[in-house]
Structure 1
């Protein structure tokens, strides 16, 4: 499929609907000249535009599918850490399964600074202490860059595994279960850092640890986590397949099935399957009460559930091309502060993107401006995906004062540190 062939198909479907080029431009909030260049094969359609045209022209996903091959994953670039002084040294920590290891400073193979002895048998305070550290690490993960948090999670997972190796029976199972949840969190931080391969490795490792502990919840949740990775790659079928598998198993924990339903809704939405998305959201609504009731204690997935169903529904409506509905849902869902900086940055960026797509640069700039410092602090690859969409969308209003004022801060937030 070439650009010219896509443009011809877009023109054919537009004319079949009885729309002029100007009328279609108004419906999708793009300029008439931009659409003309696409129809004439002089410009490549973006994924966002193909979705909007597909929704407006009732193409059932076919038009969007034609444009999928033009989509190219973007790579973040940015300067590495400059070791300007001696405090910026390379550290190497080698950890063995029995807890022993070595700490080196400088290049690999330099003399060891500290030898780590083999782990002793854990005490009664080991698991509570590890749990307290993990809670603080998760709290930090809601406000800080994954590059700060991931090394802590990896080390904590290793310590828990080593302690489990020196235990037996119930204590061993509890330590392995804790290690599994720490490993799953490491996988999430890896994804937030832009490392999908590492994210999937840690998720699989969490499943192995959880299975050794006799806990099957992680196996089901891992399917949801894998689906989320596929979601950010724009792969609808690889998102809906695993989540539907979880949804169809009534023996799985309600919280995990609820998260699967929300994931499935998003998967159907990026595939422009309105019926599937609405059905999944309805299923999620039916599971919400059980998920909320079982929220306390150790759990998998987001720390807080409040407002999440509306936020996910709002984003589904955006992907389906229903911009006004998405904007209204975001206003309702974000009428009070979200529980973490990471959620605030993620959904706040999406809210601003919806208004930019609606052709309202004033509101979009007003919303995104105060968020950019937060986006920088959480340093999330997945949030930058949405922020890049915002940057591309707001460039349609180059002469607008508000979009010009945020340009410098926007470019800084888009750069991976």
Structure 2
């Protein structure tokens, strides 16, 4: 008989609003997202091994702890832990990591509850015979549709080309290429600023159009201008990939990242080839495919890429090791990341790869890794310090790490403080419409669900419901 996954019965009593909230969220997770032409699949599948319960009981008793004592340390109720030990309740990866840390098990319990993605494998780069069409709708949404060149020639896309002007691109006038590159570079900075204060739907169409324009101008420019235009187009494409991931479309994210690699290679720059592996590693982490994330990060780390790219790869490798419960390997990767990033230098005139609004990205990642390692109180200290240093205008970055900060405090038992942080950051969450931030927000919801009777949690439910069930565009 299938067991229901949700709040324990004793936690649901007297909390009808949380029951309604969960119902609303579940309905939202199975809807077809407007404008993307595909079903949103955010249903969490808890993979487990029934060996975890007996192993937890054995290690708890060896440590001389009662169920109540262990529950107080990991902020789970005695009844919840009892059900896990008796194999009546499924253990979550978060619970496994918390117990792992408190019992000093060095990753053994964590490995019994593997994290696996619930989505199918991502496709590789598309063939040259495929054309991607973008549709813009009056409600502000947009979508990508792959079609074959034969379909385009046959008129399958004629409705999208009505009223099109002469497709030929005129070359810049002598001396105008430098102005075009400079203006496009300044425009790219503005797009990144716009991406901090709006949803992907407000940025993606312009990024795609600008990428196409730069590529076309490069075709009819001199060698030097051609290289500069192609490199800049590759950065536009890479950022389009990130915005696609933020919209929840991993397939489009991979496609645009690969397109960025192709453009960079045409401009004689191989840096983005390794960085593409870093980006794919991050996508795999969000999808729960930790093994794939680690392999991609290691490959980029041991490549001949720039110190910055390898430093970013070391960060993602640290995250993967943290999820696996390997504290020592995680810390070594973070140390290596800091060393590489301190030795890196940003190429003059080129946009920065990776996070640009986090003053000390390694310290911030350390905080999140500590959470994944089952050390939420230590994580909260790091995240409190680093989040306060994020610029006020970086709403997307503040929302991302604000939710993670709240999650760390909630897991550490500071529920009222976690709710206060969440209430403060929810307006930014609604503003940016981020699929990746929403995934962390769902984790926060599940953590707060263990404390559903607390007044601060009940007061937060309406706003949290709105943020989780609103459309991501």
Both structures adopt the same fold (TM-score exceeding 0.5): yes
Deviates more, 1:265-274 or 1:234-243: 234-243
Residues 359 and 390 in structure 2, CA contact (< 8 A), matched pair in contact too: no
**Counterpart residue number, 2:349:** 297
The separation in 2 between residues aligned to 1:310 and 1:208, in whole angstroms, is: 33
Deviates more, 1:265-274 or 1:64-73: 64-73
The separation in 2 between residues aligned to 1:88 and 1:192, in whole angstroms, is: 19
The separation in 2 between residues aligned to 1:411 and 1:402, in whole angstroms, is: 14
**Counterpart residue number, 1:187:** 241
Residues 269 and 320 in structure 1, CA contact (< 8 A), matched pair in contact too: yes
C-alpha change, 1:268 and 1:4, in structure 2 (3 Å) is closer
**Counterpart residue number, 2:417:** 363
**Counterpart residue number, 2:435:** 381
**Counterpart residue number, 1:172:** 226
Q: How many residues align?
A: 397
User: What is the deviation of 1:177?
Assistant: 0.8
The separation in 2 between residues aligned to 1:267 and 1:260, in whole angstroms, is: 11
* 1:390 aligned onto 2:456: no
The separation in 2 between residues aligned to 1:283 and 1:323, in whole angstroms, is: 23
**Counterpart residue number, 2:29:** none
Residues 346 and 383 in structure 1, CA contact (< 8 A), matched pair in contact too: yes
**Counterpart residue number, 1:109:** 159
The separation in 1 between residues aligned to 2:116 and 2:295, in whole angstroms, is: 24
C-alpha change, 1:69 and 1:334, in structure 2 (3 Å) is closer
The separation in 2 between residues aligned to 1:71 and 1:43, in whole angstroms, is: 21
User: What is the deviation of 1:374?
Assistant: 0.2
- 2:96 equivalent among 50, 67, 74: 50
Residues 250 and 283 in structure 2, CA contact (< 8 A), matched pair in contact too: yes
User: What is the deviation of 1:334?
Assistant: 2.6
User: What is the deviation of 1:245?
Assistant: 2.8
Residues 50 and 63 in structure 1, CA contact (< 8 A), matched pair in contact too: yes
**Counterpart residue number, 2:52:** 6
Q: Please give the secondary structure, in 1, of the residue aligned with 2:114.
A: helix
User: What is the deviation of 1:110?
Assistant: 7.3
User: What is the deviation of 1:35?
Assistant: 1.1
**Counterpart residue number, 1:21:** 67
The separation in 2 between residues aligned to 1:359 and 1:321, in whole angstroms, is: 13
Residues 107 and 325 in structure 2, CA contact (< 8 A), matched pair in contact too: yes
Q: Please give the secondary structure, in 2, of the residue aligned with 1:142.
A: helix
- 1:61 equivalent among 104, 107, 116: 107
The separation in 2 between residues aligned to 1:282 and 1:268, in whole angstroms, is: 13
User: What is the deviation of 1:154?
Assistant: 1.1
The separation in 2 between residues aligned to 1:236 and 1:17, in whole angstroms, is: 30
C-alpha change, 1:254 and 1:355, in structure 2 (3 Å) is same
Residues 117 and 288 in structure 2, CA contact (< 8 A), matched pair in contact too: no
Relative contact order higher in (CA < 8 Å, ≥ 6 apart) = 2
**Counterpart residue number, 1:412:** 466
Residues 404 and 440 in structure 2, CA contact (< 8 A), matched pair in contact too: yes
Residues 261 and 284 in structure 1, CA contact (< 8 A), matched pair in contact too: yes
- For residues 332-351 of structure 1, the aligned pairs below 5 Å read 332-338=385-391, 340-351=394-405
The separation in 1 between residues aligned to 2:213 and 2:117, in whole angstroms, is: 42
The separation in 2 between residues aligned to 1:270 and 1:332, in whole angstroms, is: 22
Residues 192 and 381 in structure 1, CA contact (< 8 A), matched pair in contact too: yes
Residues 217 and 253 in structure 1, CA contact (< 8 A), matched pair in contact too: yes
**Counterpart residue number, 1:312:** 365
The separation in 1 between residues aligned to 2:141 and 2:337, in whole angstroms, is: 47
Q: Which portions of structure 1, spanning 4 or more consecutive aligned residues, are displaced by more than 6 angstroms? A: 89-95
**Counterpart residue number, 2:308:** 255
* 1:120 aligned onto 2:170: yes
User: What is the deviation of 1:194?
Assistant: 0.9
- 1:79-109 superposed Cα distances (whole Å, 9 cap, x missing partner): xxxxxxx9659999999xxxxx9xxxxx973
- For residues 68-87 of structure 1, the aligned pairs below 5 Å read 68=114, 72=118
C-alpha change, 1:277 and 1:348, in structure 2 (3 Å) is same
Q: Please give the secondary structure, in 2, of the residue aligned with 1:41.
A: coil
C-alpha change, 1:126 and 1:411, in structure 2 (3 Å) is same
**Counterpart residue number, 2:189:** 135
Under a length normalisation based on structure 1, what TM-score does the superposition of the two structures give?
A: 0.87
- 2:380 equivalent among 310, 314, 327: 327
User: What is the deviation of 1:117?
Assistant: 3.0
- 1:243 equivalent among 297, 305, 314: 297
User: What is the deviation of 1:193?
Assistant: 0.9
C-alpha change, 1:92 and 1:108, in structure 2 (3 Å) is farther
* 5+ residue gaps, structure 1: 74-85, 96-100, 102-106
The separation in 1 between residues aligned to 2:97 and 2:428, in whole angstroms, is: 29
* 5+ residue gaps, structure 2: 1-46, 120-136, 147-151
The separation in 1 between residues aligned to 2:169 and 2:145, in whole angstroms, is: 14
- 1:394-417 superposed Cα distances (whole Å, 9 cap, x missing partner): 112222121111111111111241
**Counterpart residue number, 2:30:** none
- For residues 217-296 of structure 1, the aligned pairs below 5 Å read 217-249=271-303, 251-291=304-344, 293-294=345-346
